[in-house]
Structure 1
């Protein structure tokens, strides 16, 4: 079991490179994040590139934070080396939880890239043993993200019909 969660390094899958978020990623990500389809189920569209640079500077500054730390990666498709989205894990060290969020550019959806990235991040975090539960919050209308969460082993925490639904997964139970 590692002591820090996770080491601050890039990760890889068969088709993806997951690069540690840096402020300079804003230049290429700003274009991707301007597609209005990206915000069908969420808020947070950056108004300008400087706002996105500032957001990335803030997000990348708290890797080793306590009691909450932020872990953000840019998802890059290996064959083209093109940034196609991002994935985040917000760790609450007191609660031993990690909240995941993913965004893939609409032109790259349907290829299971978000699933591949999320599986790699879950593996990386789970190997530390510091997290006992993963969560994600999904707009109830967002069927692709709900399906992705289910494919990863998440279950709906509360079936009440609310706009933003919390999904949970206990990785140790999933392996049993």
Structure 2
């Protein structure tokens, strides 16, 4: 596994680890956080399975979710990642998927944008993909705004697990259209 640690002006992003479980559990039990992602809080069992999935993602593919912590003090903020979850979507994702989430107490401070920008820079420099993708619930206005801010543009609508989602794409800077090398 080629575990990448990313640092920004205010943040440290480390590959998710088993030691993140308590922080992840607190985050995924927060209904203000899960409202637009799962529509409900998750049990600790569900969080454990998500953590195992994410650990396996790093082991199998060399990338996945990063834990976001403040550089000063190490406070847990959330996660950002690049992954291939093989989602049951039409149209299917055919490029690296980005996802992010910051605890409600830290939203509106630019942390999600800072973490997402670092992850996108890693994708652009490390993966041979002409574009990256993400999906966002139409009512998740903060994520829609952030996606647009970092260069994602809508390209399709879909239904995922019985809920409408908007699919977005972001071309890698300098990539020729249709030049996906993955």
TM-score (normalizing by structure 1): 0.82
Which stretches of structure 1, 4 residues or longer, exceed 3 Å deviation after superposition? none
**2:125 — aligned with what?**
127
Deviation at 1:55, TM superposition (A): 2.3
Please give the alpha-carbon distance, in whole angstroms, between the structure 1 residues aligned to 2:115 and 2:49. 24
**Equivalent of 1:63 in 44, 58, 82:** 58
Residues 15-164 of structure 1 aligned to structure 2 (within 5 Å): 15-43=10-38, 45-48=41-44, 50-65=45-60, 71-91=64-84, 97-158=95-156, 163-164=164-165
Deviation at 1:85, TM superposition (A): 0.4
Residues matched between the structures, number: 165
Please give the alpha-carbon distance, in whole angstroms, between the structure 1 residues aligned to 2:84 and 2:130. 11
Please give the alpha-carbon distance, in whole angstroms, between the structure 2 residues aligned to 1:112 and 1:136. 19
Structure 2 unmatched ranges of 5 or more: 86-92, 177-182
Q: 1:9 and 1:129, CA in 2 relative to 1: closer, same or farther beyond 3 A?
A: closer
SS at match of 2:136: strand
Structure 1 unmatched ranges of 5 or more: none
Please give the alpha-carbon distance, in whole angstroms, between the structure 2 residues aligned to 1:129 and 1:58. 21
Q: Is the 8 A contact 2:135 2:165 kept in 1?
A: yes
SS at match of 1:32: helix
RMSD: 2.7
